[in-house]
Structure 1
Amino acid sequence: MMHQSRMFRLQTRFLIVLAALAGFCLACPPSRAADPVNVVMIISDDQAWTDYGFMGHPDIKTPNLDQLASESAVFRRGYVPTALCRPSLVTLLTGHYASTHGVTGNDPSPKYAERGSELYNQRCAQLISYLDRFDTVPEILGQRGYLSHQSGKLWEGSYQNCGFTHGMTRGFPKPGGRHGDDGLKIGRESMQPVEEFLDLAHESKKPFFVWYAPFLPHSPHNPPQRLLDKYTDKHPITVARYYAMCEWFDETCGELLGMIDDKGFRDNTLVVYVTDNGWIQDPESPKYAPRSKQTPYEGGIRTPIMYRLPGVIPAGERPELTSSIDIVPTMLAATGSEIPKDLPGLNLMPNLTSGEKISRDTIYGEGFAHDIADIEDPEASLLYRWAISGPWKLLLTYDGEVNRYKSTHPRDEKGPQLFNLIDDPSEETNLAKENPDVVARLAKQIEEWYPVEKRKTIVTPGASTDR
């Protein structure tokens, strides 16, 4: 017994030494033992999941993101739970679904309070205050001594209000503080604020978190002429402008990643990539096409999601489904931070480092109107709930109020919509009538995930599926 016990201790010590050499701690989430892991989050703004070279687009040039993809764990079947920028971004700050964090749309409805009125401003302030109910990523990392920098889109007040130590956005109620103000200059005008922050982090020898969410390729689509010229011969001008914006965004990502390399941060920095919501360019106008932004179709919610941490996360294609709801717990785990116990997403670091398959088989999402009818009742603006399981995607729709922005959404359909995404990625054929068992199973799972009042349902699993 004594001999066996000693052998066990020696084996344990040997494993600990091996883990230390590999940069891991057996008692901690996967992270480098010697130095805290830095985190850089790149968030595209209004870009379709198809619109990258590495995703197979025949024309759009994205060499920098293609290179990032070649060095990352790439989830081609990535999704955001909500196809609208503000609620999607709050999910990336808090790790919660919109129905939980309460910021379900971009603005309070002007139908019930005139924009700029005292009541409207009160409602804007109340929406921002919902962030106080959660620990944000920069706040959690700040407790571990991290510096953090915000640039680009931000709706929830100033960068300080969100827990960043440094940043660009002054925020509501400052002039122009609706969705980013000074932060929206990043990428479009200069990358200098981010570079100065990285220099500060280097000099102070502190770990850092970078939130890079430029107003790109978001409209206005006004790319540099040198990029626009690449696309005008083959495409309508509206499409050419959008394609050039995608390439412009890619260039700025290259600048950012180049800074990480040049300052010696590459090997100890987790880079995360995601889009806040999709966009399909209307060839006839500067606007987006139907089944795009604000809808639960693939053009609204699908995005590649990438994780790069050299020497820790093997590069390669990941076939599993994943969601941006997983990004917060995964980033926190990579830094060795404590993950709030109530987060609904998965910590993917064990799967990313080991290559093991993610055990979850279903992801969920929801959608609300752009204008929030009742900021204290998310269901007042609820338009849809959805689930994806294996090849199947089910959309259920609701009678939430749509005000200023009357985008195409699935309430125009007369019943639940079921698509086989593997055979029909463009969602052309509704298979709900032929597969009632699949509809019933996924509808039950959706209800268990996010129950809603039945009076708000306008189409149910038993309704007609005629189109």
Structure 2
Amino acid sequence: MNHFKPEFFFLLLMCFWNWGSFAQTEKPNIIYIISDDQGWTDFGFMGHPQIETPNIDRLANESLTFTRGYVTAPLCSPSLATLITGLYPQQTKITGNDPLFESKERRYSPEWQLERSKEYQAFLNEFQKRPTIPQILGKAGYLSLQTGKWWGKSWKDAGFTHGMTHGDAATGGRHGDAGLAIGREGMKPIYDFIQLAEKEKKPFMVWYAPFLPHSPHTPPDSLLQKYLPKAPTEAIAKYWAMCEWLDLTVGELMDYLKQESLDENTLLIFVTDNGWIQNPDKTNQFMPGSKQDPADFGIRTPIMFHWPGKIAPKMDTIHLVSSVDIPTTTLAVAGLEGATPMEGIDVLDQAALDSRKSIYAVDFSHDMVDVFAPEKSLEHRVIISGDWKLILAEPEQGESVQLYQIIKDPFEKTNVAKQNPDVVKKLTQELEDWWERTNQ
């Protein structure tokens, strides 16, 4: 006898339909891995002949990796502000690391730190008018953890649900404080947080911005001994060892995710905050043309998006991608497109990627002059368009216009501005239009 009932079939069909809908809307975990003060060439997969980064190389090869990536500023605080808001420094109002103010106290002393904190408050107040990624994700049910480098006082001030950085100026809270232990002293706070999120059955975001390879260059002795025979000086050996130390922590994190069966539903994003060229004679010192400079060694970085089974691995050496795209792409992946106005594109949208013509960066002074007038701190503006890179210096910098054929001349050896006046004119106008639109 046939006992088939149409209503049973209908219920079964609806179960499958609902399961499919859940699978499509299940939100991925998100982890930002942010290297601190590392040159764009200082990875194995980017061709460095000595620095070994096998874990980051593996991540790059398993990711959608853009080798022509750039940050919006060659300095950590404004760069990180972009990564958490999807806006340019002149829009976040965080254009430098510290406010400019007169003080009789020794710079970075506890007394100076307290004065800085008071002067910084106006910048923080303006910054906090812009929604942050953890705030937006929090409304969608995410838990979020801040670790490592952070300038905007505590993790709470940035909208994280959990964190390490307290931001108390009285006890050294300037750019990460307690959070700077992550990586250098192990990864346990991240693992504990992930276990908490798993227990609460909530998707999570982790901001992993270790003080690596950032100075002080104090690598484990085993790594230092490895590089001393290979490097021309001890200072360079220490920096190279720091780069591998970062790599080891990335490997630990990736292994943990796989061990906990979280790798397939976790989006990993890798970027550096700004560049670095190690001074060969002075440990912990960088060379001109890198950090705090609009040269590629100040702003270029590989940018990776890793999500097994969802994002096809590809080494993209053609398309221009900016750190301002990372928040936009993050929200798109989480199904939160358009949650707040942002400047970047979703780099997983091939049409948007193909139609992009230019990206921009901006270089301000280390100390911020006026929260309501970012132009008072401005030093350089940059546009990269196809094969061209134009750097416009502010008049007080006393520099001529710089134009480079950046693909043929990646180390910016030959300024071809005089030979290409039409290109300079066209890109200058585009840069001026962008600046006028974003600095309002």
Question: Normalising by structure 2, what TM-score?
Answer: 0.90
What is the distance in 1 between the residues matched to 2:298 and 2:281? 19
Contact 1:78/1:322, CA 8 A, preserved across alignment: yes
Of the candidates 434, 438, 462, which is equivalent to residue 423 of structure 2?
438
Name the amino acid aligned to 1:332.
Answer: L
Of the candidates 49, 66, 86, which is equivalent to residue 95 of structure 1?
86
**Aligned twin of 1:463:** none
**Aligned twin of 1:76:** 67
Contact 1:148/1:210, CA 8 A, preserved across alignment: yes
Q: Give the drift of 1:209.
A: 0.3
**Aligned twin of 2:12:** none
SS of 2:157's partner is: coil
SS of 1:386's partner is: strand
What is the distance in 2 between the residues matched to 1:159 and 1:252? 22
Query: 1:353-368 maps to which residues of 2 (within 5 A)?
Result: 357-368=353-364
**Aligned twin of 1:417:** 402
Of the candidates 310, 313, 333, which is equivalent to residue 312 of structure 1?
310
| 1:330 equivalent in alignment to 2:329 | yes
Q: Deviations over 1:154-205 (max 9, x none)?
A: 0101111111111100014451110001000000011110010011111111
**Aligned twin of 1:254:** 251
**Aligned twin of 1:301:** 299
Cα distance change, pair 168–63 in 1 and its aligned pair in 2 (3 A): same
Q: Give the drift of 1:127.
A: 1.8
Q: Give the drift of 1:32.
A: 5.7
Q: Deviations over 1:17-41 (max 9, x none)?
A: xx999x8x8xxxxx96152111010
Kindly tell me the number of residue pairs found equivalent between the two proteins: 415
Q: Deviations over 1:384-412 (max 9, x none)?
A: 00100011000000156xxxxxxxxxx35
What is the distance in 2 between the residues matched to 1:230 and 1:172? 38
Of the candidates 218, 242, 247, which is equivalent to residue 245 of structure 1?
242
Unaligned 5+ residue runs, structure 2?
1-16
SS of 2:390's partner is: strand
**Aligned twin of 1:33:** 24
Q: Give the drift of 1:68.
A: 0.4
Name the amino acid aligned to 2:134.
Answer: P
Q: Deviations over 1:276-318 (max 9, x none)?
A: 0000101121210110000010100000000011111100112
What is the distance in 2 between the residues matched to 1:212 and 1:63? 19
Name the % identity: 48
**Aligned twin of 1:57:** 48
Cα distance change, pair 384–374 in 1 and its aligned pair in 2 (3 A): same
Query: 1:358-397 maps to which residues of 2 (within 5 A)?
Result: 358-397=354-393
Cα distance change, pair 284–389 in 1 and its aligned pair in 2 (3 A): same
Name the amino acid aligned to 2:323.
Answer: S
Contact 1:394/1:417, CA 8 A, preserved across alignment: yes
What is the distance in 2 between the residues matched to 1:281 and 1:444? 35
Cα distance change, pair 20–312 in 1 and its aligned pair in 2 (3 A): farther
Of the candidates 227, 230, 242, which is equivalent to residue 226 of structure 2?
230
Name the amino acid aligned to 1:271.
Answer: L
Q: Give the drift of 1:224.
A: 0.4
Of the candidates 264, 267, 273, which is equivalent to residue 270 of structure 2?
273
Moved more, 196-205 or 321-330: 196-205
**Aligned twin of 2:137:** 141
**Aligned twin of 2:3:** none
Contact 1:32/1:268, CA 8 A, preserved across alignment: no
What is the distance in 1 between the residues matched to 2:393 and 2:38? 24
Q: Give the drift of 1:52.
A: 0.4
Cα distance change, pair 152–183 in 1 and its aligned pair in 2 (3 A): same
Moved more, 142-151 or 110-119: 110-119
Moved more, 310-319 or 336-345: 336-345
Unaligned 5+ residue runs, structure 1?
1-18, 26-30, 401-410, 453-467
| 1:346 equivalent in alignment to 2:342 | no
Q: Deviations over 1:393-434 (max 9, x none)?
A: 00000156xxxxxxxxxx353x10000011111101110000
Q: Give the drift of 1:83.
A: 0.3
Name the amino acid aligned to 2:346.
Answer: N
SS of 1:451's partner is: helix
**Aligned twin of 1:283:** 280
Query: 1:188-203 maps to which residues of 2 (within 5 A)?
Result: 188-203=184-199
Detail structure 1 runs of 4+ shifted over 2 Å in the superposition.
110-122, 338-342, 373-376
SS of 2:171's partner is: coil
SS of 1:50's partner is: coil
What is the distance in 2 between the residues matched to 1:33 and 1:412? 55
Contact 2:148/2:180, CA 8 A, preserved across alignment: yes
**Aligned twin of 2:128:** 132
The structure carrying a bigger helix percent of its residues is 2
Q: Give the drift of 1:230.
A: 1.1
Contact 2:86/2:342, CA 8 A, preserved across alignment: yes
What is the distance in 2 between the residues matched to 1:211 and 1:99? 23
Of the candidates 94, 100, 104, which is equivalent to residue 109 of structure 1?
100
**Aligned twin of 2:412:** 427
Contact 1:419/1:431, CA 8 A, preserved across alignment: yes
Name the amino acid aligned to 1:59.
Answer: Q
**Aligned twin of 1:164:** 160
Of the candidates 274, 290, 293, which is equivalent to residue 292 of structure 1?
290
* Higher normalized contact order (CA 8 Å, seq sep 6+, divided by chain length): 2
Name the amino acid aligned to 1:423.
Answer: K
Q: Give the drift of 1:129.
A: 1.8
What is the distance in 2 between the residues matched to 1:330 and 1:120? 34
Contact 1:107/1:124, CA 8 A, preserved across alignment: yes
**Aligned twin of 2:11:** none
SS of 1:33's partner is: helix
Name the amino acid aligned to 2:416.
Answer: L
What is the distance in 2 between the residues matched to 1:396 and 1:155? 28
Moved more, 89-98 or 332-341: 332-341
Contact 2:69/2:322, CA 8 A, preserved across alignment: yes
SS of 1:349's partner is: coil
